[in-house]
Structures are given as structure tokens and as C-alpha cells.
Amino acid sequence: MSISNNNKVNQESINNGVMLNAYPNSIGKNLHDTISLLERPEFKDVFSLFYVLPTFFNSDLDRGFSIIDYNLNKNLVSQDDLNELKKLNIMLKFDIVLNHLSVASPQFKDLLEKGNTSKHKDFFINWNEFWDNYGTMGNDGVMIPDDNHLSKLFMRKAGLPVLKVPFPDGTKQPYWNTFYQEIKYNLVKPENLKSIKDLSIIDAENICEIVNNAIALNKDFELLDFKKNKDKKGEIIQIIQKNKTYLGQMDVNANSPLVWAFYEETLKKLSAFGCKILRLDAFAYLHKAIGQTNFFNKPGTWEYLDKIKQIAQKYDLLLLPEIHAEYGLGLHDEVAKEGYYIYDFFFPGLIIHTLESESNKALLTWAYEIIEKGYKTINMLGCHDGIPVLDLKGKEVDGIYKKGLLSDEEIENIMNKIMERGGRVKNLYDPAGNKISYYQINATFFSALGENEQKLLLARAIQMFMPGIPQVWYLDIFAGKNDYQAADKGGSAGHKEINRTTLTQQNIEKGLSKKVVLHQLEIMRLRNTLRAFSGKLTINNTSVNKIDWVWKNGEDFAQLQANLKTKMFSMSYKESSITQILNFNAK
């Protein structure tokens, strides 16, 4: 497939291209190992785009989405890698995490060092200052918003979204922290206690034993009994707190001109790296205002999107706002109507439903909507995150209920099926820590399909014929299975590690000997190279348990015919007066 090398994005090439999705070290040890894979003959012409996840940059939490800075992570990526990708005519897609930066970012470190005198004081959001006059101070020094405001907040985790950080004046200030945080109490050593007067070496060792045991058992330090040293309890706890380390994704203050200057600098830098598509991660949380949900506030979110779009146009970047929301809410339609690409988070659940129920109805409903409304989408089966289920739901808006793409019962059936096959669930919570909704299920797509190779092949074929840019998770190509050991070891976000197994060279060689892998590569190569896919899609009428889709571009065509009961399918195509019919069987 030929891709223009000039500075302007070749829109037809992007629409027709297949996109790889991986971390820089998903295959081997670094990005160079992934490039070596792409240079193999089995992968020739399979991909023309590559979504490299943000450990490409310097980060420290949430597997890359807690950005320290947008410079190359030299442990995983080199400038030579970028040059090689350019030679392969592979365009890049990156993330900018609009809503937050790491506590280890230069901006937040400056705030921690200088406190209220830092030029970045308003770069982040002091929770207490934001809610001043709209809440009550809690016993822990954190403002609790009034009930009428608190009840509206859209939460991603249990409890108030704050992380208390130490200021130079000795106070601990709560800063807005919508997503992840990780607080670690480090073991105390006798030398850490040197500042305490009249403390013998034996007493210091005894105190360390008490404290370290409490850390291991996650006990409350205030309840510890230091016996004859109980008068020194306050000093000991102060040392424990000072000795801890923490990570966090700290929400930025989009009212600050410094934040927008940072966005401008970042988009310029990413364009220089070769970025053509820019995913706006967590953009819907960026705008914050008293009395709103602080998730896709209107009109504020639209105003921010427009400002980002104006910057992106300077650097010829296509924007992809990332948003998870119920279908019934209609946000996907609103974003698409503004001309943006949208992530097709409905597609993975619809495919599982289609294959398990042996019915095309729900999938066709969504496919017709994409065609009729002219949505520009990027779809996927598996990805670095979970399989969305919340997105498929209906939603009541202004007293009117709009149906989802699937009923609640159908969604429950999907969830139960994937859970039976080893999946892990991610939920949403209210401010009190109560579960209010399921969000997504974490599993490899192959395991979600019961590790049935024919189902995986058919799912891939349908994806390649679906309107939109097909994005392919590296592990799915090799029919990756749930990694329970990684999920169990992964801590608070361990559920995601179930689908992030690093592939070794041995895994690659073994995989490339399997039909399910080679057939997927062949199907993707056709999608990536045939001119028919730059044309129009026609969905032929069939019975409910069959699929007959045809892409046409002049005299060229590509056709998928599938039986949802048997999972058998064929692809036929015509290009340059040559017609081929291919049958795909995993056995």
C-alpha cells in the first residue's frame, strides 16, 4: 500500500489502513523488536498505521497514562526507531493525556518544591480552593462538597478524587486526582529515627519492628503502641509519613494559560515524532465547574475541544477524542457531528454478542448508523484496556429513555459469559464508595470468545469489513490467552494486566506456525491493500444468522459472506481484473 510521504495526511490511506496497537515493549524488550517483527515477510503490507501506547514517553503509573513529560522514553524508544517506521511507510498515532500529569512531572515537582510561590501553582487544581464556599471542611482537612454538588459528580473510583501532597510549609494540600494514585509506605530503618532525641539503638530497632510490621499488615499508625516511647509517637508518625512515596495522575487546571502553552508545545513535539492521529485521552474530564458533573460539561468541553483543534490544525494532526459513555446518552453522535473521529467502543461487545447469539441484528443497527450518519470511526476487538460494556447501555436523558444497542439482559449475558471464561470486572463508584455501574471487563478477546480460533477469525474478518479504521491489538493477532498470574500480581490496576502479556521471540515463532495467526495476517493484508476498501460498503439482505457485506470501488470489490451458526466464512475480491475467493478455516 502506498502512503504519501508529504507533510499532509493522506486521508484515503488512513481510511483504508490497518492500525497496529501495542506498547513499545509489548513485543520483545523495546520498540526496535516490534519494528523487526513488522519487517518480517509475514507482516509485509499488513499495517500502515501504528498506535504506540504512551510508555513511548516518560511516565510512571497506569502503564504510561501518567505522563512525566512527552520526551522519548530512551529505555524503550530511539530516534532510529522513528526513522525505521518512516521507511516502512507506517504513520503513527499517539496519546495526549489532556486531563492530568504525573506528580513527577516538572510542573508538579516545582509546585511541591516552592508551594504557593511556584509559577505552576495554578497549573493543577487545589481541591479545597476549588470547593471553597461550596462545601464543609472534613476532619482530614479535605473539603466535602455540598450534597447537591457532590451527588452530581461522575466518579472513576471510590471516595473523593484527591491526593494530599506535602507543601514546603509543612501542610498537606489536597489536589484533584480523578484517576490513579499509589501511596507506598517504605520500611523504616534505625537511621531514619536519628532526629528523635534520647532514643537508644535498641529502642530504635524495636520501633522499626513495630512500624514495619504495621506497614506489612496495613495497620493504622495512630493505633500503634510504642510502649515506653509512646511520648515520641508524634515524631515517629511524622517520620513514617515523610518516608513514604506516592504516585498520582494530577488533574490540570485548564483555566491556566500555562496549561494551554503546554498543550501547544506538546502537539508540536508529537508532530515532529511523526504523529498523524492524536488520541485525546480523558478529555471529557478536563472542564470542571461548580454544579456540574465534571464529565463532558457543556458548553465548556466543546470550547476546550475547539481550542485543541485549532492547535492541531497547525501541525496537521487528526484528532480522536476518547470517550466512554452510554450509547443512549448520544455523546458519540454529538462528537461525530463536530467532524471528529470517534472511538467505536460499541464494536467489541457487539461482536461478542453477534457470535454468541448467532444474530446480526444489533451489529447491523450500529453499522447502518455509521453509514447513514457518516461517522469517522476507529474500531477494535481487544485493546490495552478492557472490553467496554457500559457503552452499550441505554440512558434516560431529560426524562426520555433512549434504548441502547443491547438490552440490559443482553449485556448481562455478555458479562456472565466472559466472566465464566475468566474475565475480570471494572466498576464505577459513587462518592461514598458504592458501586453504581459496571464499566468494562478485562480479558483477552480470544479468551472472551472461549478461546475458539474460528470465532476469532470471523471476528477479525467482520472487523476488517466494518466501516472505520480497524485497530488491532498485538496480542489478539497471536490468539493471546488470559494472563491470570500477571493480573493477580498487578495491584490495584491488575485487572488490566490480564491482556498485556509481553511476547518473546519464541512466542512469535510459535505463533507464526499457526493458521489462526497466518489467516488473520492475510485478512488484514487484504483490508490494508485492496482498493475496494476505499470505496463504499453495501450490506446485503440476509437471514438473521448470516452476513453478506460488499465494499465496492469502481470495478473493484471485496465481499464477506459468513454463517454465524457455523462460524464459517469466505472472502472474495476483484482487483485489476483478477478475482479471488478465499475460505478461512482455523483447523
- Enumerate the active-site residues: 281, 322
Question: Is residue 166 classed exposed, middle or buried when 0-12, 13-18 and 19+ CB atoms within 10 A define those classes?
Answer: middle
Question: Is residue 381 classed exposed, middle or buried when 0-12, 13-18 and 19+ CB atoms within 10 A define those classes?
Answer: buried
Give the whole-angstrom CA distance, residue 230 versus residue 219: 17
Sign of CA dihedral 306, 52, 514, 502: negative
Using an 8 Å Cβ cutoff, are 407 and 417 in contact? no
The residues, ordered by sequence, that sit 6+ positions from 238 with a Cβ below 8 Å of its Cβ are none
In b/e form, how buried is each residue of 174-211, taking b as 16+ CB within 10 angstroms?
A: bbbbbbbbbeebeebebebbeebeebeeebbebbbebb
Q: C-alpha grid cell for residue 198?
A: 534520647
Using an 8 Å Cβ cutoff, are 263 and 317 in contact? no
Closest C-alpha among 348, 334, 336, 332 to residue 376: 336
Write the secondary structure of 507-552 as one string of H (helix), E (strand) and C (coil).
HHHHHCCCHHHHHHHHHHHHHHHCHHHHCEEEECCCCCCEEEEEEE
User: How many alpha carbons lie under 13 Å from residue 157 in its C-beta half-sphere?
Assistant: 14
How does DSSP assign 155-181, residue by residue?
-SSSS-SEEEEE-TTS-EEEEE--S-E
Determine the 3-state secondary structure of 64 from DSSP. Answer: helix
Closest C-alpha among 338, 373, 468 to residue 15: 468
Q: At what angle do helices 408-420 and 347-357 cross, to 10 degrees?
A: 80
AA identity, residue 198: D
